[in-house]
Amino acid sequence: MSQIISVHSFRGGTGKSNLTANIAVAVASQGKRVAIVDTDIQSPGIHIIFGLDEETFSYSLNDYLWDKCSIEKAAYDVTSELKTGNGSTADLSGTVYLVPSSLKAGEIAKILREGFDVGLLNDGFQELTERLNLDYLFIDTHPGLNEETLLSIAISDAMVIILRPDRQDFLGTAVTLEVAQKLDVPEILLLVNKTPPVFDRNTVMSQVSHRYGVPVGGLFYENEEMLELASSGVFWLHHPDHPFSQEVHAVAKKIIG
Amino acid sequence: MTPNTPQPPTRSIADLLFLPEVERSLLNWLLRQRSATLSELVAYLSQTPEAAELLLEGLMAEGFIKLSEKNGELSYQPRLITRVGRQVPSKIWDALEN
């Protein structure tokens, strides 16, 4: 039975797309068939992490929403694009597909100007799951709340909420949780990202968990290696022994259950 | 539908958040199912068919669901379809799209 997992943060800059890419690829490394859909139509970018650019893909989620192509035409098998730190192709036992959103200014403007049929997104998620025989579909959402984000949350089997240990993130996360609970999301997992190294792991996890009454699935520290990689790849493939990477695998195992 | 029949309002998914709990839960469930027959809805709601139909008629009148026919079978589907375009002066859009 396939699972839809939406990944959300109330505010921007939490490292949502990087964590989504890392966790999805870690799930695929367990022999799973995984797809990521970039529904962050207003500010897309996760395809950069997978080495795709506007020249390498013909169709995007925008084209599907404009009825120019089927959803699987906009899905790219990026498994062979995944590189390790020495530049060799990663040896994954599963498969990773990516449905990118367009990074062309005119196409972003067009979709904001004209709107789109949100119901088509729901159909697209289901069709993609069936036609690609997926085990997991990850939805990289736009920060904050809008229609496509609300839909993604509403149809999810599980939701991952990413926050930084920051007062503004804490308040925003409370809003997201309230919405997720109103939309009957069966399972919610909090991930604390960009934690300053001076913060104690157990104290932060305990505070966050206590504050929201929701389990904290992982805590990630800020690190220089991530800054140096600068979204040019999937971090754990480049730094497999790094504590960040170990935490990514721990979260992936929790998701697989 | 005749020209004089009032059209149900167009709903966005955000409207779902303001529904009472029973209706909201039903729509959440229907969104995940994508469509359901009356008997499936009755089973989900654990209500009599008459009570379920009354609830569904209310949601249809309010524009949240629609009734469709496929292969001779009627099914209810969510009707939360609109992401309205943004209101920005057209010269800005034109500059961006060209």
| Number of folded domains that form chain B | 1
In a domain, B66, yes or no: yes
Closest Cα in chain B, distance from residue A37 (Å): 17
The answer to whether A5 and A136 are in contact (CB under 8 A) is yes
Q: In what order do the strands lie in the sheet with A136-140?
A: A76-77, A95-99, A33-38, A136-140, A3-8, A158-163, A187-195, A216-221
A98: domain CATH number is 3.40.50.300
What does the pLDDT read at residue B77? 92
In a domain, B8, yes or no: no
The reply to whether residue A119 touches residue B29, judged by beta carbons under 8 angstroms, is no
Residues of chain B contacting residue A147, judged by C-beta atoms under 8 Å apart = 12-14, 82-83
What does the pLDDT read at residue A140? 96
Q: Does A119 touch chain B (CB under 8 A)?
A: yes
In a domain, B38, yes or no: yes
| pLDDT higher than 90, residue A112 | no
Measure the CA–CA gap between A223 and A243, rounded to whole angstroms.
10
Measure the CA–CA gap between A29 and A34, rounded to whole angstroms.
10
Q: How open is the CA angle A172-A175-A178, to the nearest 5 degrees?
A: 150
What is the interface pTM, i.e. ipTM, of the complex?
0.82
Confidence of residue A207 (pLDDT cuts 50, 70, 90): very high
Of the partner residues B17, B29, B81, the one whose CB lies closest to the CB of residue A179: B17
| Residue A159 belongs to domain spanning | 3-256
Measure the CA–CA gap between A160 and A125, rounded to whole angstroms.
17
Q: Does A77 touch chain B (CB under 8 A)?
A: no
In a domain, B53, yes or no: yes
**Dmax (CA) of chain A:** 50
Chain A nearest-CA residue for B20? A182
Chain B nearest-CA residue for A183? B28
> pLDDT, tens digit, for every residue of A114-156?
888 888 898 999 999 999 999 999 999 999 988 888 989 999 9
Among the listed ranges A31-35, A84-88, B22-26, B67-71, which one has the minimum average pLDDT value?
B67-71
| pLDDT higher than 60, residue A199 | yes
The answer to whether B8 and B60 are in contact (CB under 8 A) is yes
Q: Which helix (H) or strand (E) holds A160?
A: strand A158-163
> pLDDT, tens digit, for every residue of B47-72?
999 999 999 999 999 999 999 988 88
B22: domain CATH number is 1.10.10.10
Residues of chain A contacting residue B29, judged by C-beta atoms under 8 Å apart = 184
| Number of folded domains that form chain A | 1
Chain A nearest-CA residue for B15? A147
DSSP state letter for B62: T
In a domain, B1, yes or no: no
- Compute the mean pLDDT over every residue in chain B, rounded to the nearest whole number: 86
Tokens 């403007």 -> residue: A109
Name which of A188, A205, A200 is nearest A254 in CA terms.
Answer: A188
Confidence of residue A226 (pLDDT cuts 50, 70, 90): very high
Average pLDDT over residues B7-34: 90
Q: Does A147 touch chain B (CB under 8 A)?
A: yes
Q: Amino acid identity, residue A145?
A: L
In a domain, B60, yes or no: yes
Give bridge partners of residue A161 from the DSSP assignment: A8, A190
The reply to whether residue A183 touches residue B97, judged by beta carbons under 8 angstroms, is no
Chain A nearest-CA residue for B16? A183
Measure the CA–CA gap between A88 and A90, rounded to whole angstroms.
6
Q: Which comes out higher in pLDDT, residue B84 or A199? A: A199
> pLDDT, tens digit, for every residue of A72-81?
999 999 999 9
| pLDDT higher than 90, residue A70 | yes
A48 token code pair: 């950069």
In a domain, B19, yes or no: yes
| Residue B34 belongs to domain spanning | 13-78
Q: Which comes out higher in pLDDT, residue B13 or B76? A: B76
| pLDDT higher than 70, residue B83 | no
Q: Give A37: exposed, middle or buried? Use CB within 10 Å, 0-12, 13-18, 19+.
A: buried
The reply to whether residue A116 touches residue B83, judged by beta carbons under 8 angstroms, is yes
Among the listed ranges A85-94, A115-124, A191-200, B40-49, which one has the minimum average pLDDT value?
A115-124
Annotate A188-251 with DSSP letters as a single string.
EEEEEEEE-TTS-HHHHHHHHHHHHTS-EEEEEE--HHHHHHTTSS-HHHH-TTSHHHHHHHHH
Average pLDDT over residues A192-218: 96
The answer to whether A101 and A62 are in contact (CB under 8 A) is yes
Q: Which of A3, A39, A122, A127 to mutate to test the interface with B (most CBs of B within 10 A)?
A: A122
| pLDDT higher than 60, residue B2 | no
The reply to whether residue A112 touches residue B86, judged by beta carbons under 8 angstroms, is yes
Q: How many CB pairs under 8 A join A and B?
A: 73
In a domain, B96, yes or no: no
Average pLDDT over residues A100-122: 87
Q: Amino acid identity, residue B46?
A: S
